Amino acid sequence: MGLPEHYPAPYGFEKIVCNSAHEAEVWSERMRKQEAIKIQMEDEQREIIEGPIRANLRSHILHQMTNARNNLNREFLRCHLESYDKRPDRTKMNRISYLHNEGYEQGH
């Protein structure tokens, strides 16, 4: 097969060949920072779209709770709102990327 240095990078990418472990760690850290910024931007875009939808659903549940026919329905909706606030956000995902040799060294 040969070393990766002998093969060209795919179109649109730049090939970086690290000659020392320190250089690889520097590039890996840059990659992680860039990926964190990208994930943050995706979360902000998602919040712009989904935030008003969540607010509308919450206001609808509050409206239903205030106009409930009896205390049982009112209590049920109140408990639902409490559990709604305690749910973990499934869209948030913590991930850390490593270069292939770092991942192998750390047992990933």
Note the pLDDT tens digit of each residue in 10-21. Answer: 898 888 888 887
Q: Is residue 81 part of a domain?
A: yes
Q: Which range marks the domain in which residue 78 is found?
A: 50-86
**Closest C-alpha among 81, 92, 97, 86 to residue 35:** 97
Q: Is residue 78 part of a domain?
A: yes
Q: Is residue 39 part of a domain?
A: no
Q: Is residue 42 part of a domain?
A: no
pTM of the model: 0.65
Per-residue confidence at 107, pLDDT binned at 50, 70, 90? low
Q: How many domains does the chain have?
A: 1
**Backbone phi, psi, residue 19, to 5°:** -100, -10
**Backbone phi, psi, residue 93, to 5°:** -135, 125
Q: Which two tokens stand for residue 49?
A: 């779209």
**Closest C-alpha among 52, 35, 51, 25 to residue 93:** 35
Q: Is residue 66 part of a domain?
A: yes
Q: Is residue 12 part of a domain?
A: no
